[in-house]
Amino acid sequence: MFNIVLIEPQIPPNTGSIGRMCVNLGAKLHLVKPLGFDISDTAVKRAGLDYWNELDLTVWENLDEFLANNPIEKMHFGTTKTDNLYWDAKYEVGDYLVFGSETKGIDEKLLKANLERCITIPMSGKGRSLNLATSTGIVTYEALRQNYDKINFDKILIEFKA
């Protein structure tokens, strides 16, 4: 499926919503530290995230570690600092959809080094950004739409019914 990457997420409900989407799509979630919240078993149980044990999750110590271990040529960087519309990007199964923290976004040096891989969601000039979970869902489902014929949803549905 796809790899969803959150760099230094700060707001637990956003990450929880994105995690739920990943479970329902069979996508992998990558969290890049530092995190603005606790994801220990105790904290997850306390938050009532009953699906969290089904989540394919990798937690990275920092951005450098993540970038050193994953193919940058398969990454799409969500940002408000580009004119490249998300629906014009070509997504492939296995791609990485990368989003920054709710407060800082993605480091500008990383964006500038990868301008052709930056994507944005069009918005009116009245707001500065969309909610992280909303943005992630919009882009992920466009990637899904583009690759629907390559994904075995029968297998995913069978796995969730078991």
What are the C-alpha distances in Å from 133 to residues 22, 25, 73, 140? 11, 15, 24, 10
Half-sphere exposure of 106 (CA within 13 A, CB side): 28
Higher pLDDT, 64 or 43: 64
Say whether pLDDT at 41 is over 90: no
Half-sphere exposure of 5 (CA within 13 A, CB side): 28
> CA torsion 58→111→77→62, rounded to 10°?
10
pLDDT 10s digits, 14-39:
999 999 999 999 999 999 999 988 88
CA distance 85 to 162: 38
Say whether pLDDT at 125 is over 90: no
Structure tokens at 46: 């306390």
Give the confidence band of 155 by pLDDT, cuts at 50, 70, 90.
Answer: low
> Going from the N-terminus, what domains does the chain have, and what CATH number goes with each?
3-161 (3.40.1280.10)
